[in-house]
Amino acid sequence: MSAEHHSSLLDAVKGQPKQVWITAFAAVIAFMGIGLVDPILLSIAKGLDATPSQVTLLFSSYLGVQVVAMLVTGAASARFGAKRTVLVGLTLIVAATALCAAAGSIEQLVGLRAVWGLGNAFFIATALSVIVGAATGGQSGAILLYEAALGVGLSVGPLLGALLGSISWRGPFLGTAILMAGALVLCAVFLRSDKHERRAPIKLLDPLRALKHTGLLRTSVASALYTAAFFAVLAWSPFVLGWSAIAVGLVFCGWGLCVAVAGVALAPRLAAKLGERHAAAAAVFGYAVLMLVLAVPSKPVLVAGIIVSGLVSGLLNTLFTGTAMSISDAPRPVASAGYNFCRWLGGAVAATLVGHVAEWFGSPQAPFVASAVLCVVAGGLLSLRERQADPHEVPKEAVLVGEEF
């Protein structure tokens, strides 16, 4: 990592205009939604008389809608402008989270999480462009701020869910609604209007057309397999632990901090040594080993494995995206949309099936073993030789971690 990069770590936060900080704050709240329900899964199951398989649908409905919506957010932002797209997304999130707090059945909660996922897609896919366009100090510093928002959101989400969830499982949803309503007001007042800016059109099917490139498709499928394992950790581990909301929240807070540190500080160094694709292959094989560690029937081992898996996930978030952005000649926003469609489709399917896998094999450790197999396949796909050279750096424009969530 160069001295210039080190200085950007220190300088990225200096002298930024209000709309950068406001958008970053809203991004933190949006990313909190990923792990917010983790500590309260058991409480939701008890409060709404739901099975583990029904409760994990809270992840699959959220991600499933977000996956499909990611294909249209680029076209929406190009047509209506970033500010209006952001405000629509935030409005949907506020409405959905407030109604989640009043849900009377697991079916209602699953449906409202789908609306939440739709709002998140509109907001997250657009917020990075807002930050990059408004930030001082160059694009790399703006992306660093966005990655920091991601890390804070991933680590604070489980903790907030745990603290409010210890009172009631409805508390985290209400708390998120209040925070996001504040972000909505701030964005509506302070974000610069872009009604009259000229924007390049993006067609709805462009992201899927980009997947015709063999390298991008292979990378995207490998990422989908890894993301399935990622959500086996996120959606299933709380049921295996069987602990209180506070205890689970602390575990996943540590996990989120590891994701943030590895994504910002470690991934570029590993890419410089091995190349993006080879580094991603090595990391995903390492994740396979961790999945087998999680399958050990010991709660202390499970906790240690969850937290360490955050480091590998942080690496893979950056390395997979860097590989996807540099492996084809498609425009980066288009390649990113196609890649993220595949990636989070894997997460949505996994969140739906993870409870059923445990039931089919009659073992709470079965989802982790299945995840290890998926990661081995992902590593094999990444290990196949490509025609072009493997760049030994993560492109500054490529680390669109926010678009992945």
User: What are the tens digits of pLDDT across the range 104-153?
Assistant: 999 999 999 999 999 988 887 677 667 766 666 555 556 667 667 777 88
Q: What is the pLDDT of residues 60-97, one digit of tens each?
A: 898 889 888 878 876 777 777 778 888 999 999 999 99
Domain ranges of the chain: 3-404
Q: Which range has the worst mean pLDDT, 49-63, 212-226, 263-277, 325-339? A: 325-339
Q: Give the whole-angstrom CA distance, residue 229 versus residue 313.
A: 10
Is residue 79 within 8 Å of 202, Cβ to Cβ? no
| pLDDT(15) > 50 | yes
| pLDDT(405) > 50 | no
| pLDDT(199) > 80 | no
282: closest CA among 335, 327, 226?
Answer: 226
Q: Give the whole-angstrom CA distance, residue 38 versus residue 34.
A: 8
Q: Give the whole-angstrom CA distance, residue 37 versus residue 51.
A: 15
Is residue 70 within 8 Å of 210, Cβ to Cβ? no
Identify the CATH homologous superfamily for domain 3-404. Answer: MFS general substrate transporter like domains (1.20.1250.20)
For residue 309, which amino acid is it?
Answer: S
Q: What is the pLDDT of residues 216-237, one digit of tens each?
A: 999 999 999 999 999 899 889 9
Q: Is the dihedral of CA 132, 136, 137, 138 positive or negative?
A: positive
Give the confidence band of 19 by pLDDT, cuts at 50, 70, 90: confident
CA distances from 337 to 13, 230, 330, 393 (A): 28, 20, 11, 21
Q: Which range has the worst mean pLDDT, 11-20, 65-74, 169-178, 347-356? A: 11-20
Q: Give the whole-angstrom CA distance, residue 101 versus residue 87.
A: 22
State which of 217-226, 350-359, 388-397 shows the largest mean pLDDT.
217-226
| pLDDT(297) > 90 | yes
| pLDDT(5) > 50 | no
More confident residue, 337 or 156: 156
| pLDDT(1) > 70 | no
Give the confidence band of 293 by pLDDT, cuts at 50, 70, 90: very high
177: closest CA among 384, 36, 20, 285?
Answer: 36
Give the confidence band of 337 by pLDDT, cuts at 50, 70, 90: confident
The overall average pLDDT reported for the chain is 82
Q: 169: part of which helix (H) or strand (E)? A: none
Q: What is the pLDDT of residues 237-258, one digit of tens each?
A: 999 999 988 898 899 989 988 9
The two structure tokens encoding residue 226: 């890894």
Give the confidence band of 7 by pLDDT, cuts at 50, 70, 90: very low
At 196 the three-state DSSP class reads coil
Burial class (CB in 10 A: 0-12, 13-18, 19+), 3: exposed
| pLDDT(362) > 80 | yes
Torsions phi, psi for 131 (to 5 deg) = -65, -45
Q: Give the whole-angstrom CA distance, residue 218 versus residue 225.
A: 11
| For the chain, percent of residues with pLDDT exceeding 70 | 84
